[in-house]
A and B are shown apart, each in its own frame.
Chain A
Amino acid sequence: MNAMFSRRSLLAATAASALSLTACDRKTRVTYKGIDLTGATYATDFQLTDPQGKERRLADFRGKAVLVFFGFTQCPDVCPTALARAAEVKRLLGADGERFQTLFITIDPERDTPEVLQAYTAAFDESFIGLYGDLPRTQQTANDFKVFYKKVPTGASYTMDHSSLSYVYDPQGRLRLALRHEQSPEDYAQDLRKLLQSTPT
C-alpha cells in the first residue's frame, strides 16, 4: 500500500515538475519591457458602463489585446499623453492595430459624464472606449486593479492623484503586463506585438 502510494505521488510530482519546468521555459524565453504580471489573480475582470449606456466586461474584447488606463479628463498632462501614446501604439502595430483595444476608465465619474468621455476618447482614436461606474463601483474596480487614486482639493476645485500604469491583457483575456508612463510607444508596441503573436487567436 505504502509503496503504491509513493510511486503514484512520485509520478505525479515528476509530471508536475516537468510541466512547471516547461512553463518556466516558456516564460523565460519571452521577456517584456513592461512589468510581467502573468499569473496575477487580481484585475481579472471589470463591470463598467460605456458612454452609450451598455454594460461592458473584459470578455467583450476577447480576441484582442486590451490596454486599460485609469484617468480623468481634467488631467492636462498624464492622461492625454497616455491616450496619445496608445493611439501611436495602434499605428505602430499596423494591421495588428485592429486587434488592439484601448479602454479609458475614469476615476472621476462625478465630472466625467458619458458625453465628455465619448468626446474625449474619440479625440485620440475612434476605437477607444471610455468606461465609468458610480462612485462605489469606481472604488471597487480601482481596488481590484490595485490602482491608487485620490481626490485632492486644489484652489478653486479638485484634482486627482492616480496611478499612471497601463494594464495589458492578452487576447485570451488574461492580465499580462503593466507598462509604465515613462516608457515609449515603441516599448509598448514591442510588448503588444509579442502578446499578439505568441498567443493563438
Chain B
Amino acid sequence: MQFTRLSIALAASLLAMSAQAQVTVKDAWVRATVPQQKATGAFMQIQATQDSKLISASSPLTPHVEVHEMSMQGDVMKMRQVADIALPAGKTVELKPGGYHVMLLDLKQQVKEGASVPLTLVIENKDGKRESIEVKAPVRALNTSSHAGGHKH
C-alpha cells in the first residue's frame, strides 16, 4: 500500500517536473562597448526540452532590453524587434551575429571586456506557463569575430 502511494507520489512529481520547459542556456556573451556607446547585443544558445518561446529579457544594466532579429535583404541589413523567439523542443536556437540577439539599449555606462552581465530570460511553454532563467553573460571584446576564419556558407 505504502509502496503504491510512494510510486503515485513519484509519478505525480515527475509529471510536475515535465510541465517545466527545462531550458538550458549555453555560451552566452555580451559585446563590449566604447565609452558613450549607447547599445550593444547579447548572444547565446538556448535549448528547451518542450516547445516554448523566449518572450522577453531583462537586465539590471538597463531598463531597455529588447529581443531583435537581424535579417539581410539583398545587401541591406535590417534589425527588428520581435515579440518572441520560437524554441522548438530539443532544438538549439542560436542568438548570434547575423540572426537573433538580445539588444541592451540606452546604456548609461560602458560595458567592459571581462565584466559579467546578468540577464533574466522569460520562457513560456505551450501551456502558457512562464519561467525565468538567470544567465551571467561574460563580456567579450568589441572586435570579437563570431566566425573563426570568416568562412560563411
For residue A33, CB closer than 8 A to chain B, the reply is no
A157 partner, pick from B36, B105, B142, beta carbons under 8 A: B105
User: Are A80's CB and B142's CB within 8 A?
Assistant: yes
> Cβ of B123 < 8 Å from any Cβ of A?
no
- Give the dominant DSSP class at A's interface: mixed
Within 8 A of A (CB), among B26-45: 31-32, 34-41
Within 8 A of A (CB), among B17-75: 31-32, 34-41, 64, 66, 68, 70, 72, 75
Contact B81 A76 (CB under 8 A): no
Chain B: interface size category: 35 or more
Which residue on A lies nearest to B34, using beta carbons?
Answer: A119
> Is there an interface contact between B77 and A76, defined as CB atoms closer than 8 Å?
no
Partner of B75, one of A77, A180, A185: A180
Q: Decide if B150 touches A85 in the complex (CB within 8 Å).
A: yes
Interface 9-mer from B6-14, B96-104, B126-134: B96-104
In the complex, the chain B residue whose C-beta lies closest to that of A76 is B41
Task: Say whether B4 faces chain A, with CB atoms less than 8 Å apart.
Answer: no
User: Is B91 an interface residue, CB under 8 A from the partner?
Assistant: no
Chain A CB within 8 A of B2 CB: no
Report the minimum CB–CB distance from B17 to chain A (whole Å): 35
* A200 contacts chain B at the CB level, 8 A cutoff: no
Chain B contacts of A186 at CB under 8 A? 149-150
Q: List 10 A-B contacts (CB under 8 A).
A: A73-B34, A77-B41, A77-B98, A77-B101, A78-B97, A119-B34, A154-B66, A163-B75, A180-B75, A185-B149
Interface residues of B (CB under 8 A from A): 31-32, 34-41, 64, 66, 68, 70, 72, 75-81, 97-98, 101, 103, 105-106, 141-146, 149-152
